[in-house]
Amino acid sequence: MKCFIAFFYFFISFFGFSQQTEYVDFKKAKAEIAFGDLKKKEVSGSITYEFKILKDTDSIYFDANNFQNISSTLDGTFMDSLYNGKQLIVKYPFKPNTTHKLDITFKTSPKKAMYFIDWDTSTALSVTNEVNVTSSDSLKMNRIEKNSWTQSVQIWTQGQGKYTSNWLPSVDDMNEKIEFDLSITFDNEYEVIANGKLTNKQINDSTITWHYNMQQPMSSYLVALAIGKYDKKVEYSDNGIPLEMYYYPEDSLKIEPTYRYTKQIFDFLEEEIGVPYPWQNYKQVPVKDFLYAGMENTSATIFADSFVIDSIAFVDKNYVNVNAHELAHQWFGNLVTETSGKHHWLQEGFATYYALLAERNIFGDDYYYWRLYEYAQELWGQEKAGLSTSLLDPQSSSATFYKKGAWVLHILREKVGNKAFSKAVKAYLEKHQFKNVETKDFINEVEKASGKDLREFMARWLEDKTLFYDEMIKNLKLNSSSINQHFLYDCNETPQLCKTILLRRDNSIYKEKIIEALGSTHITKSTFLIDDIKVRQAIAQTLSQVPLELKSDYETLLNDESYITMEVALFNLWRNFAEDREKYLNKTKGIQGFNDKNVRILWLTLALLTDDYEIENRPKYFDELTDYTSSKYSFEVRQNAFQYLTQIQACNDVCKENLKQATTHHSWQFTKFAKNLLEVINKSKD
């Protein structure tokens, strides 16, 4: 028997069940989820799957990665399932056209896909008793002392690229779509957000069980939950869809700038796409130390709380593009889902394109075309480096899937016309809703709507790895007068003409490009008179060596409502005019900047480096700067603090210990940064 099981595990591991969708159709899943010892990252529960057998098969399976305990019962009858550490395999002589229920109970401590933020360093008391997961009535947590948790502790999930099966027995194959209903029990001081509509909050002694209902199926990677201390604001779309915008209670003044244009974006996309929003509601939840900018979980986008901003930050780093991108995915990715990575552009290219259309609706045509120009420049750099790939290559870069994909849709729309393009998108979504798609499914609808043969277009823009950069630039010149002028005049050869254009044009984006092209030698007093924050920011960044005759003009940049401008201007003024360092520090004292504290951390560093500046406060400032390296802050804050402390050779033992801890962080980018910096510090000691 052991030999048989070993062979069976070998077969599963190396050959898999890639065609399981031919044999079984999973219809519904009802999960009950609770948590054990939070410092040990314990999650447990039960999930019931309803499914229909399509063909004779002697087994079905569920993905379940590294579960500590897992067992199942088929149709109410206990049975021994096989578990190989990756899949739960149910052996049974299944017959076609039969329906079944499988109850799975489980317990695990996931290493990815579900993240427990700051529980290991908070003052929270652990839940020490096991959670009984045999029935919904027994999904209870121990009483946890109130007010003992720090505000930052959270739990959130990220299924795409990480697999939901790390915390919930599920099906990793995105071609299998299931209606998931989640019931989650947690301490009653916390908000619990998940996919679908909240149908009930069951109040227990010290916990609440949150019942969420989905009415339509989705791929397992889109299952999500987020737990934390939140308040929310609710608006309604023109069609009555609830738009739930979550925020930390202390950030009530940041709600408007963070979620600015949300309703406008939602209503625009629904009208532009031509298909009603397919889910019951739409939730957006910021979380600490998120792996990406945002993730489009069905009806519940989770995004990085670095996008939680005030009105000043909105100018330089706002949530608008991410907001629109993740919302567009609710149609392109969630309603219709790629069959495989070969067709990934059907999700990311579409989301990028429609997000850009939404921004065009808000910021205007020039913004739209200059963003396309920036995309083209990035893709051209990739081409020159020999890294250009086909849009249908599953190994392509993000720039290809996202930005070349958006460009293809822009070119295609112009080729077939607005009417045919819109008709095709609507037909494509309606025909394949809640299903999986390939590129030909979309192209077929465009051919039907336009009456055009698109085989040559596909070969050129989707299958060929060549980037047709000249055609892209030609398209932009025809559509945008400011981009046409950008290529018409060389500011190095005709600086006076460019300065004349700079002073009379209204297009701020073009003005930024002119400042960059002219360079610092052509910035004069009149340049500072341009009343545009982004243009003045370009001046601040371009003019790093500030001439004495422009000193008073440059100092006015410290008054601009832009944290990037403040940061750059403070550093350049401090560096250029040592005699006035105290004045500049006093003027910017107390300004935090973005969520990564860009201005404050620079200020602390400069305060420590400035002779005779508040000598009595230096220990306090150094302690504050060092404290920003600790795990209670976001990795963006920590990274800034680590960099500055290392640059001034002041990363002490506390800093180094925090840096070592950072090498185990769940964000691979931050981990890589920490490891590299630690290596640099260690080498400098040798």
Q: Kindly report the CATH number assigned to the domain that includes residue 391.
A: 1.10.390.10
What is residue 485's predicted lDDT score, i.e. its pLDDT? 86
Q: How many residues in the chain? A: 686
Q: Which two tokens stand for residue 455?
A: 């085989």
Q: Which domain holds residue 633?
A: 589-686
Residue 319: phi and psi, rounded to 5, are: -95, 0
SS3 168: coil
What is residue 464's predicted lDDT score, i.e. its pLDDT? 96
> Are 340 and 469 part of one and the same domain?
yes
Residue 93: phi and psi, rounded to 5, are: -80, 80
Does any domain span residue 537?
A: no
Q: Residue 666: pLDDT above 90?
A: yes
What is residue 505's predicted lDDT score, i.e. its pLDDT? 65
SS3 25: strand
> Could you tell me the strand order of the sheet in which 82-83 lies?
57-63, 87-94, 82-83
Does any domain span residue 558?
A: no
What is residue 7's predicted lDDT score, i.e. its pLDDT? 41
What is residue 137's predicted lDDT score, i.e. its pLDDT? 35
> Are 355 and 476 part of one and the same domain?
yes
536 vs 10, higher pLDDT? 536
Number of domains present in the structure of the chain:
2
Residues 6+ apart with CB under 8 A from 386: none
Q: In this structure, how many other beta carbons lie within 10 angstroms of the beta carbon of residue 527?
A: 23
Does any domain span residue 625?
A: yes
Cβ(107)–Cβ(163) below 8 Å: no
Q: Which two tokens stand for residue 675?
A: 């490891």
Measured CA to CA in angstroms, residue 85 lies from 10, 65, 66 at distances of 12, 6, 5
pLDDT tens per residue, range 387-403: 999 999 999 999 999 99
SS3 276: coil
Cβ(171)–Cβ(159) below 8 Å: no
pLDDT tens per residue, range 547-597: 999 999 999 999 999 999 999 999 999 999 999 999 999 999 999 999 999
What is residue 487's predicted lDDT score, i.e. its pLDDT? 87
Residues 6+ apart with CB under 8 A from 628: 597, 601, 637, 638, 640, 641
Q: Which two tokens stand for residue 488?
A: 């018409």
Q: Which two tokens stand for residue 132?
A: 């009984």
Task: List residues bridging with 361 in a β-sheet.
Answer: none
SS (H, E, C) 163-182: CHHHCCCECCCCCCEEEEEE
Distance between CA atoms of 60 and 82, rounded to whole angstroms? 11
Mean of the pLDDT values across residues 648-665? 96
Residue ranges in 148-219 assigned as alpha helix (H): none
> Are 470 and 602 part of one and the same domain?
no
Cβ(320)–Cβ(265) below 8 Å: yes
Of 24-28, 472-476, 523-527, 616-620, the poorest mean pLDDT is in 523-527
Q: Residue 355: pLDDT above 60?
A: yes
Cβ(83)–Cβ(128) below 8 Å: no
> Are 459 and 343 part of one and the same domain?
yes
**Percentage of the chain modeled with pLDDT above 70:** 92
Q: Where does the pLDDT of residue 132 fall: very low under 50, low under 70, confident under 90, or very high at 90 and above?
A: very low
Q: Which two tokens stand for residue 261?
A: 């244009």
What is residue 138's predicted lDDT score, i.e. its pLDDT? 32
Distance between CA atoms of 215 and 429, rounded to whole angstroms? 18
Amino acid at 26: F
Distance between CA atoms of 288 and 156, rounded to whole angstroms? 9
Q: Residue 11: pLDDT above 60?
A: no
Torsion of the alpha carbons at 618, 620, 621 and 623, rounded to the nearest 10? 120
Q: Residue 161: pLDDT above 80?
A: yes
504 vs 490, higher pLDDT? 490
> Are 596 and 475 part of one and the same domain?
no
Measured CA to CA in angstroms, residue 601 lies from 85, 571, 623, 636 at distances of 45, 12, 12, 11
Q: Where does the pLDDT of residue 12 fall: very low under 50, low under 70, confident under 90, or very high at 90 and above?
A: very low
Cβ(477)–Cβ(487) below 8 Å: yes
Cβ(139)–Cβ(133) below 8 Å: yes
pLDDT tens per residue, range 40-51: 999 999 999 999
Q: Residue 209: pLDDT above 70?
A: yes
Among 451, 482, 513, which residue terminates a domain? 482
Does any domain span residue 614?
A: yes
Q: Residue 28: pLDDT above 90?
A: yes
Task: List residues bridging with 435 in a β-sheet.
Answer: 336
What is residue 506's predicted lDDT score, i.e. its pLDDT? 67
Per-chain mean pLDDT for the chain? 91
Cβ(272)–Cβ(427) below 8 Å: no
SS3 252: helix
Does any domain span residue 278?
A: no
Distance between CA atoms of 35 and 29, rounded to whole angstroms? 19
pLDDT tens per residue, range 503-528: 776 667 888 888 888 888 889 898 89
What is residue 488's predicted lDDT score, i.e. its pLDDT? 83
> Are 474 and 593 part of one and the same domain?
no
Among 482, 504, 524, which residue terminates a domain? 482
Q: Where does the pLDDT of residue 618 fall: very low under 50, low under 70, confident under 90, or very high at 90 and above?
A: very high
Residue 640: phi and psi, rounded to 5, are: -60, -45
Does any domain span residue 475?
A: yes
Residues 6+ apart with CB under 8 A from 464: 390
Does any domain span residue 91?
A: no
> Are 474 and 598 part of one and the same domain?
no
Q: Residue 148: pLDDT above 80?
A: no
Which of 291, 357, 346 is closest to 321 using CA atoms? Answer: 357
Of 128-137, 184-193, 266-275, 455-464, the poorest mean pLDDT is in 128-137
Amino acid at 345: W
How many H helices and E strands in the chain? 25, 23
Q: Residue 164: pLDDT above 90?
A: yes
Q: Residue 129: pLDDT above 50?
A: no
Amino acid at 256: E
> Are 470 and 604 part of one and the same domain?
no
Among 482, 508, 542, which residue terminates a domain? 482
Mean of the pLDDT values across residues 646-668? 96
Distance between CA atoms of 344 and 298, rounded to whole angstroms? 17
Element (H, E) at 51: strand 43-53
> Are 344 and 476 part of one and the same domain?
yes
Does any domain span residue 675?
A: yes
Distance between CA atoms of 451 and 424, rounded to whole angstroms? 11
Cβ(155)–Cβ(114) below 8 Å: yes
Measured CA to CA in angstroms, residue 259 lies from 226, 289, 348 at distances of 18, 19, 22
Residue ranges in 298-454 assigned as alpha helix (H): 311-314, 320-328, 345-363, 365-384, 398-399, 405-416, 418-431, 439-450
| Burial status of residue 384 (CB atoms within 10 A of its CB: 0-12, 13-18, 19 or more) | exposed
Cβ(304)–Cβ(293) below 8 Å: yes
